[in-house]
Structure 1
Amino acid sequence: MVPFKPYFLGQETPPWPRATSVQKCIRTPDIEDVGKTTRHGTFFEMCGNFSFGDYFKERAIELAWDLVTKPVADGGWGLEESRLYPSVYSEDEEALELWVKVTGLPRERVLRLGRKENYWSMGVPGPGGPCSEILYDRGPAYGPDFDPSALGPDMPVELEDRLLEVWNLVFMQEDLSAVRSKSDFDIAGPLPHKNIDTGMGLERIALLLQGVENMYEIDTMRPVIDRAEALTGRRYGAGGDQGPADDVRFRVVSDHVRSSMMLIGDGVTPGNEGRGYVLRRLLRRAVRSMRLLGTEDVVLPELMPVSRDLMGQTYSELLTDWDRIARVAYAEEEAFRKTLQAGTAIFDQAAAQVKSGGGTQLAGSQAFALHDTYGFPIDLTLEMAAESGLSVDESGFRSLMGEQRERAKADARAKKGQHADTGIYRAVLDEHGPTDWVAYETLSTESRPLALFSAGAPVSRLGEGEVGELVLDRTPFYAESGGQEADAGTIELPTGRLEVLDVQRPVRGLVTHQVRVVDGELDLGATGPLHAQVDEEWRTGARQAHSGTHVVHAALREVLGPSALQSGSYNRPGYLRLDFGWNAALDPEQLSRIEEVSNRALRADLPVGWQYMTLPEAKEWGAIALFGETYDAGQVRVVEIGGPWSRELCGGTHVEHSSQIGTLVVTGESSVGSGSRRIEAYTGVEGFAYLARERDLVTQLTTLLKTRPDDLVGRVGDLVERVRVAEKEIESARTAQLLASAGTFAEQAEDLDGVAWVGRSVEGAGGGDVRTLALDVRGRVPADRPVVVALVGVKDDKPAVVVALNDAAQARGLAAGDLVRTACGVLGGKGGGKADVAQGGGPALSGTTQPDEALAAVRALVADSARAR
């Protein structure tokens, strides 16, 4: 219902008094319960009725009860009235009386539940209201007997599977404020109109009508379980010691395969944030569940087509876009198989260390390292830890993740001047109405100031050098959206001048300008008319870049095929980047072809135009709507370049002919996550400047190397090969010199009560060299004499520690693993290994931590052990 929020709040007039919807929904807060209950799924189809001030409680109850109980032959579902239990909010006497009136049920059949169960809110300030559920009693096999009149305000957990919620009627009538949780909030007052928002999960109705045990066995999901059985050799519902666990895994597979496919079909690609992470988590849980069921083969190419054939009967885009969907899913499985191989080894080592130390919890820092360095999602770490009998310090992990995210977002928050409370903007909107936004028509306006904010609060003036947010009645400035940066420019005052730093839309309909006072002061009360002026050069560059993005997108689809869909973009004057779903790096020929197709479109001087239409009309016309973007429910703007060659929904500013882009120079292509690539390019003057710099670089190199431009690559290649050979010879000489010192080290061994001790710091030696040298030194000491060799190599300021013992030293109770951990601990690092040889390292050396201190600590342990004999 979120898109309808402005209608419920009375901020916008709905285009219709009623609406009916079927929505594809993904919900993952309950992901750990998937497969364990009869009703929890990550993907479901939500069927809803909405009334915007038209009908209310009584009519909503009538419509719901009629559909639920009417015979199937008459278009209903034919559920037995004797099994149905309406529920109401405990304080909503009106709803209780209406249920009795409409259905004829006795009052004791209507359950009275508390705010947690039967009051609906979004969890944030906005519309809400009491709700009323229709519950279906599945019988004693699904829970204990109960007395409906004796139930308290909370639904008992043991009844949640027996009393299955099939429909929720939300009586949207109140405006909520100070929302502390979904069940703890203040009521600011009534909404302008009383509304209805109902929701019914199609899967829950299907399981009842099809007579199956749970949602995973309905006709659009059970065939995936059947295929998983064939691949693993395990049987669903077979019982036995592993039966319950196996059944949960089969259900997880069925649910997650379908959910992943639907997400990819809507344009989501796997990633580490937001919806991309949700998809990645679902895919990886499905793959790992199949591994736990006994197969280590690739499984998605076997399972996902089964789900495609089932869901494609309703959602035909799954069939027409299958090549892209399959490519994204299968590439993610392949990447996860590699992650599993590397990450599992690291996890096993960490778990073994915890257990050997008598611990029962994996540290948050270890879980974070698995996530950040090895790509191990936290939920997978949690599952594997539980299987190993360990817990995970989740709060420590979340804290480290939060710190990382905050560092990444700090700059963005500072620039946008974001405030959690949008009430200050809504107050301006309510008082003055929407901003007259004329960025498409002009670059300058005479405007009137309406409001001024600083640090999220209203102010009356800004002095020279101060920054604030200014709201005008009319503006020519483009507000950042659709990947395009906001316009730059100035606002001239009778008493000074403002520099426009940023332009945003904090709430729909209102444009705010982040400004700095360059000259004079801005006094809201004394300021007369203002002159707002967009920087013309800035706008020209921005138009070139945004139109260039559409050109590159069309060229990309022409070269790679229609499945190469844009997933994100960013434009600033003269520069563009475009992210798109693809599983492999583009080769130089593909990149060159994309650039050629783009520039041919520029040379063809293709007309650029735009027009408004409804979203269904735009899709019928072939316009591309990007997933994740929000489009107006009424009219959308379609921008086309060269007619059908490029048609996209877009609110950005554009050139009038493709030739006005000037030039388009592709500068690079890179990965931005599994299944997602990025192209970067320059346009206009910036494109010519980039080519000029490349030309100057070639000129300098040809002059320096005394060769012709055509011979430059060969000449540089020869030099690189000569340098490689020379470096290899130098490295061989250095290694030989290093190993030659082994005899000297052995001869100079110190005697520690019968143990030969060799402790040295070796400059310029990495881990491999130090290990080879330590073993060589150990081999030069007679086998019957106990010897401990501890070497710390330092290369690029980072230490590498190796400890080697012979059998005689081990017989004295010494162990290389214990000694290397001591040395690494002094250096602030970690290490481990076997009793005869162990290795480790530490962070870059500081002025306070040196190899000699680490060696001294190891020597002290060896000496103490020798004296103890």
Structure 2
Amino acid sequence: MTGNEIRDSFLNFFAKRGHYIIPSASLIPANDPSILWTAAGMVPFKPFFTGAATPEHTRVTTCQKCLRTPDIDVVGKTARHHTFFEMLGNFSFGDYFKTEAINWAWEFVTVNLGLPKEKLWISIYENDDEAFEIWHKQVAIPADKIIRLGKDTNFWEIGVGPCGPCSEIYIDLGEHRGCGSADCGVGCDCDRYLEIWNLVFIQFFRDEEGNYTPLENKGIDTGMGLERVASVLQDVRTNFDTDLLREIMDYTAEQLKVIYGKDDKTDLALKVIADHSRAVTFAIGDGALPSNEGRGYVIRRLIRRAVRFGRSLGVDELFLHKVAGAVIHQMSGTYTDLGSNQGHIKKVILNEEKRFSETLANGTEILNKLIEEAIRAGNAVISGLDAFQLYDTYGFPLELTQEIAGEQGLLIDEDSFVQAMESQRSRARSARQETEYISETGVLYKNIRDERGTTNFIGYNALQAEAKVLALVKDGQNVQSAQAGDEIEIVLDITPCYAEAGGQVTDFAVLSGQDLNVMISQVIKPVENLIVHKGKVESGLLQVNDTVKIEVAGERRLSIARNHSATHLLHKALKEVLGEHVNQAGSLVEPDRLRFDFTHYAAVSNEELNKIEKIVNRTILSNLPVTVSESSLSKAREMGAAALFGEKYGDLVRVVKMGEFSLELCGGTHIHSTAEIGLFKLISESSIGSGLRRVEAVTGEGALHYIETKEQQLLMLAHLVKSSPNELVRRVESIIKSVKELEHESEALKAKLARFEVENLLSQVKMIKNIKVLAAKASAADMDSLRAMVDLLRDKIQSGIVFLSAANNGKANLVAAVTKDLTSIGLHAGKLIKEVAPVVGGGGGGRPDMAQAGGKDASRIPEAIEKVYTVVAEQIVK
């Protein structure tokens, strides 16, 4: 079976058993800051397992694209490690449990995949007798082929939250694939017993104290690696030899003019390039961009690592963007977004390849300096820490550093390099946030919701409401009341307040009652269907079960709505002017401004910015109706609705339409017609990363304030130059012309003065033992001017010594020069300066023909000049 056939077979198998097929989620987790990447099939469903959100379907199945980097250094060296892979999975959220999951898994691998039963083995958690009974009595697996393993491998848990035992299906690939050890069996690290499917039975909740409580609604979370299963069914030794990766490797080999299977070095390079190109292609397609931090750093590292392996085969030209094209060609049938984003993906990779070529040049320069320093110091070994910094900062592999250093007869301290590498890995492991199902705060609010009810948000159509206080939280604890001065978190049964989301900032509000006043400054949504109001009690007493009035700050909300609607118009205008490759990469919608980040490869010109601004304002003046409707996600996609970066969508989505101009999925608040935006004004455009731009703009009152400020500045400038605003440009042009004329006159006068001073200084030349020596004080504004004067005097005297000093803000500048014919007989400008500079409280030195110094006491310049003649006389004698 091909990879595509396995994927389709799996999804169809579970669809026939009541599972809803859900397309793969983005590699960038939606609304989940705890992790960088979607690293497992369960990640998009975390809220359903915790109960923080309610699923629309209790049975689902997916083929989820995943990205993991902890094992990046062994990719290509082993048969099965990858950074990018596809995970097949079936999930139950409080529906079926172990019996169905186990029986279906066995049926699929033995019937649909046709794997021989006699080669299959089962592992279970050591105490999971329930799973043992199902495998042994229902599926008829012999007891000696069901292996009990410990908590470290067969119990899934990460901190606080749902957890449970695992059961895995292994296949015996034969003794020839084993390690030869007498105790080789299921769980051995060799390639003989290959785990192909992991079934996680989510049946407990682990609290902060480590107590395990049975869940009322149990869950199933399974994961089967598509590449791994393909390697078994296609009877190849590694995942890289399956059709999923081999086509990409063959294309790469053709581009790099090498042959797969020729030698280990070539094979490793081709495997790494194939794996990393898949990872970066999908990640960039999902909105990630290379940068120096976070997920952007991962993309940059993967691209550079792939390029380095290409260079290890002697290939210097740019090739990885072409390999990305091969990935898209192979995978776009399943992941259609790849095809539509092809131009963007390839251009981002190409730009990063070019950038890395420049970085490599910089790294080579630094390595050459390290080599020079080592040779000069008589060292035969370059520090491993220096070699690691070259690797970490400039992408230099150790082998390349060793090769270049070896050409100069130097070695690299490999032990300290390995230590530095391991130290970095340890830091990365400790810093890497694990995939938590739910935070401690999330647990608190989930319990409040389950015990006391949900919040009904009415803020799309109302700005005030009468509500009941469901819960109060202070310092992370449930409390029954709050009084004046308390910082408090309030849960209401109904609210008009918008919780911060999708780039739109929180509403401000006032909560009031009899003698009660609470200022609300933040609104959040910690779990689904529950809104929390954070504020301070200004007066009165607030208690659980009180009935209160809550009112949103209306003018602030209206300003936010203007800016939010303007981002939709801006997004469309950017696409019209710059191209369809433009996609939103983040936004911020505040009452006084909006910020919009988008993908683009160059600075936006003033002409383009003007076009964008005109399109938006023309659309505003068109008074287009802004309508909001709910639709299925699939129908909204068919209508052409744009999905925004970082948003997570269920089957039912909110569609915001602005006439026939803009159609986007959005959960934010908006005005009713584009005319309410008033005026749109772009105020800045800048780069925030490779291939990523940012514009800021103002609307409504903010735009009026911006224009008023500019008008005031215009009036002040006109007043300063004694002009009217209408004549300001002409007046400034006239002033600039006058300034240039005066500067020209000034330079001419300076040149005349310099000639007069030079003539005057030449008259002070003394002869010391038949050598011309000029030592004098000059009027020079800075060291550059002083050097220029010395050069001129040296040329004038043709043979001799020139020493000039000038005062500058109480300090002394010194410059000495010796003509070439005299340096050959031992006269030395650097030694002269070294002896004279201490007189003015300074130090310095330089070459035999030119030297300079600075001193802190300009009052002693005459003494320094006198000393010049003494030192020159001594040098002549020597």
- For the aligned pair, the TM-score class normalised by the smaller chain equals 0.7 to 0.9
Structure 1, 620-629 or 664-673: larger mean CA deviation: 620-629
Q: For residues 288 and 165 of structure 2, what CA distance do their matches in structure 1 show?
A: 34
Structure 1's 771 and 130: CA in aligned 2 closer, same or farther, altered over 3 A?
Answer: farther
Residue 200 of structure 2 aligns to a residue whose secondary structure is: strand
State the partner residue of 1:41. 82
> Which AA in structure 1 matches 2:461?
E
Structure 1's 693 and 450: CA in aligned 2 closer, same or farther, altered over 3 A?
Answer: same
Contact 1:567 1:579 in 2 (8 A): yes
> Which AA in structure 1 matches 2:460?
Y
> Which AA in structure 1 matches 2:216?
P
Residue pairs, 1:345-494, within 5 angstroms: 345-346=365-366, 349=369, 367=389, 389=412, 391=417, 393=420, 421-459=441-479, 462=482, 464-494=484-514
Contact 2:523 2:531 in 1 (8 A): yes
State the partner residue of 1:754. none
Contact 2:387 2:398 in 1 (8 A): no
Structure 1, 591-600 or 327-336: larger mean CA deviation: 327-336
Please point out which of 693, 704, 707 is paired with 1:688.
704
- Report the Cα offset of residue 400 of structure 1: 11
Confirm or deny that 1:134 pairs with 2:154.
no
Q: For residues 254 and 314 of structure 2, what CA distance do their matches in structure 1 show?
A: 11
State the partner residue of 1:15. 56
- Report the Cα offset of residue 661 of structure 1: 0.6
Please point out which of 234, 247, 256 is paired with 1:223.
247
State the partner residue of 1:144. 179
Q: For residues 801 and 544 of structure 1, what CA distance do their matches in structure 2 show?
A: 64
> Which AA in structure 2 matches 1:16?
H
State the partner residue of 1:196. 220
Contact 1:807 1:836 in 2 (8 A): no
Structure 1, 686-695 or 538-547: larger mean CA deviation: 686-695
State the partner residue of 1:852. none
> Which AA in structure 2 matches 1:166?
I
State the partner residue of 1:67. 108
Q: For residues 128 and 720 of structure 1, what CA distance do their matches in structure 2 show?
A: 74
State the partner residue of 1:256. 276
Structure 1's 127 and 466: CA in aligned 2 closer, same or farther, altered over 3 A?
Answer: closer
> Which AA in structure 2 matches 1:578?
F
> Which AA in structure 1 matches 2:45?
F
Contact 2:584 2:596 in 1 (8 A): yes
Q: For residues 717 and 289 of structure 1, what CA distance do their matches in structure 2 show?
A: 57
Q: Deviations along 1:417-453, whole A, 9 cap, x unmatched?
A: x986433322322221111222112111222333333
- Report the Cα offset of residue 783 of structure 1: 13
Contact 1:335 1:674 in 2 (8 A): no
State the partner residue of 2:587. 569
Q: C-alpha root-mean-square deviation of aligned residues, in Å?
A: 5.2
Q: For residues 191 and 353 of structure 1, what CA distance do their matches in structure 2 show?
A: 65
State the partner residue of 2:656. 639
- Report the Cα offset of residue 483 of structure 1: 0.5
Please point out which of 170, 173, 187 is paired with 2:200.
170
Q: Deviations along 1:338-378, whole A, 9 cap, x unmatched?
A: 333334434654687689876865669995xx89xxxx758
- Report the Cα offset of residue 38 of structure 1: 1.1
Contact 1:220 1:307 in 2 (8 A): no
Residue pairs, 1:495-574, within 5 angstroms: 495-518=515-538, 520-524=539-543, 528-574=546-592
State the partner residue of 1:665. 681
Confirm or deny that 1:107 pairs with 2:113.
no
- Report the Cα offset of residue 168 of structure 1: 1.0
Residue 448 of structure 1 aligns to a residue whose secondary structure is: strand
Q: Deviations along 1:76-127, whole A, 9 cap, x unmatched?
A: 2222334332222223233234333455443333333222222223x24222
Q: For residues 709 and 98 of structure 1, what CA distance do their matches in structure 2 show?
A: 87
Residue 249 of structure 1 aligns to a residue whose secondary structure is: helix
Q: For residues 103 and 835 of structure 1, what CA distance do their matches in structure 2 show?
A: 92
> Which AA in structure 1 matches 2:715?
T
Q: For residues 228 and 840 of structure 1, what CA distance do their matches in structure 2 show?
A: 59
Contact 1:670 1:678 in 2 (8 A): yes
- Report the Cα offset of residue 700 of structure 1: 3.0
User: Sequence identity, in percent?
Assistant: 38
State the partner residue of 2:864. none
State the partner residue of 2:294. 274
Structure 1, 622-631 or 659-668: larger mean CA deviation: 622-631
- Report the Cα offset of residue 308 of structure 1: 1.6
- Report the Cα offset of residue 319 of structure 1: 1.9
Structure 1, 288-297 or 603-612: larger mean CA deviation: 288-297
Q: Deviations along 1:522-555, whole A, 9 cap, x unmatched?
A: 4436x94322111111011011010011111111
State the partner residue of 1:125. 160
Structure 1's 148 and 679: CA in aligned 2 closer, same or farther, altered over 3 A?
Answer: same
Contact 1:328 1:581 in 2 (8 A): no
Residue 252 of structure 2 aligns to a residue whose secondary structure is: helix
- Report the Cα offset of residue 657 of structure 1: 0.4
Q: Deviations along 1:48-90, whole A, 9 cap, x unmatched?
A: 11123333323322222222222xxxxx222233433222222
Contact 2:518 2:536 in 1 (8 A): yes
Q: For residues 269 and 326 of structure 1, what CA distance do their matches in structure 2 show?
A: 12
Residue 625 of structure 1 aligns to a residue whose secondary structure is: coil
Structure 1's 383 and 495: CA in aligned 2 closer, same or farther, altered over 3 A?
Answer: farther
Confirm or deny that 1:5 pairs with 2:41.
no
Confirm or deny that 1:297 pairs with 2:317.
yes
Q: Deviations along 1:647-672, whole A, 9 cap, x unmatched?
A: 11111110000000111011121111
Q: For residues 848 and 141 of structure 2, what CA distance do their matches in structure 1 show?
A: 77
Considering only CA atoms, is the larger Rg found in Structure 1 or Structure 2? 2
Q: For residues 569 and 119 of structure 1, what CA distance do their matches in structure 2 show?
A: 40
Q: For residues 737 and 86 of structure 1, what CA distance do their matches in structure 2 show?
A: 97
Give unmatched runs, 5+ long, in structure 2: 1-41, 406-411, 433-437, 766-774, 835-843, 857-878
Please point out which of 125, 150, 174 is paired with 1:89.
125
Structure 1's 111 and 323: CA in aligned 2 closer, same or farther, altered over 3 A?
Answer: same
Structure 1's 77 and 660: CA in aligned 2 closer, same or farther, altered over 3 A?
Answer: same
Confirm or deny that 1:628 pairs with 2:628.
no
> Which AA in structure 2 matches 1:287?
V
Q: For residues 105 and 448 of structure 2, what CA distance do their matches in structure 1 show?
A: 40
Structure 1's 285 and 801: CA in aligned 2 closer, same or farther, altered over 3 A?
Answer: farther
State the partner residue of 1:24. 65
Contact 2:465 2:550 in 1 (8 A): yes
Give unmatched runs, 5+ long, in structure 1: 71-75, 179-184, 406-417, 749-757, 821-830, 848-869
